[in-house]
Copies of this chain bind each other. A is one copy, B any other.
């Protein structure tokens, strides 16, 4: 591959002038411009990004850290990130952690050595102190999951309100025995969604029953398993609110296996509105998260931090929506 100096030599100018032509900068005479572009074409020259990056001490990349790219929820967000990154001249690097802190930290370390100009964290395994520390060195935005009380912006929805709305919808349908399939982990969304569930129950004068509360790991299998247990209760619930679509689908298949009709015998509501939710039979009532937009806004915020050195605001809350489908209403 030819370098800027090869081009300069062939065009009979200096490397500086070639650089000016490449970067459509300033004050290049038309003849020189022509000579240089001709040389560039003849040599099929492409500016070397490694050289450029070093000189500018800018990587022109951003890093996306997430648990699992094959989770449709995250991959849709990544699409939003990628589009906005592109519009702003950034490339996207991917770090799939499999929720392994060590793997995440390996990347974080490299980040400090300018692996990327900034990062978007989804469901990070790091603790608040480390995140706060990181935010001093590198522009970072939290997307969906986030830690509170640290100087790091986040983009998410109002999880408590969303869960509240979902459960209120079930109550509005006449349900009183409403179970909850959540998750026990460090993520704020898990506790907020439970909080919303409890608030809706409380408001309707329904007692919170711990027997109706169980915890999975967002997987199909865990939804399946927990539903089986709920169905064994002497007072079987008539509705279930799950904090993820995948668990909801697992729960539905579980109930179907027991020859129960959805929603007649038991109504199920999910959370996320992944692509598959509307295809599923019965199609899934769920909280729609604006995944693509979450990605876009997170990336927008990150560009802002990178280029202006500071965040415009710490809290971005995007709108969610209750999407009512066959799994709760015939």
Contact = CB atoms under 8 A, between A and B. Distances in A.
A275 B253 CA distance: 15
Contacts of A113: 46-49
Contacts of A46: 109-110, 112-113
Contact of A79 (B72, B96, B114): B96
A134 interface: no
A119 interface: no
Given A50-B50, A78-B70, A94 B93 contact: yes
A115 B91 contact: yes
A82 interface: yes
A216 interface: no
B61 A54 contact: no
A75 B69 CA distance: 6
A72 B54 CA distance: 36
A114 B70 contact: no
Interface stretch (A149-157, A276-284, A305-313): A276-284
A78 B72 CA distance: 13
A200 B103 CA distance: 47
A311 to B, nearest CB: 20
A92 B93 contact: yes
Contact of A82 (B82, B94, B220, B256): B94
Copies in the complex: 2
B59 A70 contact: no
A68 interface: yes
Contacts of A70: 72, 75-76, 78-79, 275
A91 B114 CA distance: 13
A118 interface: no
Given A69-B75, A70-B76, A50 B114 contact: yes
A150 B6 CA distance: 30
Contacts of A29: none
Contacts of A281: 252-253, 256, 280-281
A30 to B, nearest CB: 25
A48 B56 CA distance: 13
A109 B22 CA distance: 14
A110 B49 contact: yes
B82 A96 contact: yes
Interface string A215-240: 00000100000000000000000000
B112 A1 contact: yes
Nearest to A282: B281
A198 to B, nearest CB: 29
23 contacts: A1-B114, A44-B112, A46-B113, A49-B113, A49-B115, A50-B53, A50-B59, A61-B93, A70-B76, A72-B72, A72-B75, A75-B75, A82-B94, A82-B95, A91-B93, A91-B115, A93-B93, A94-B94, A220-B279, A246-B279, A252-B281, A276-B276, A280-B281
Closest 9 CB pairs of A and B: A46-B113, A70-B75, A46-B112, A50-B54, A54-B54, A70-B76, A75-B75, A50-B53, A82-B96
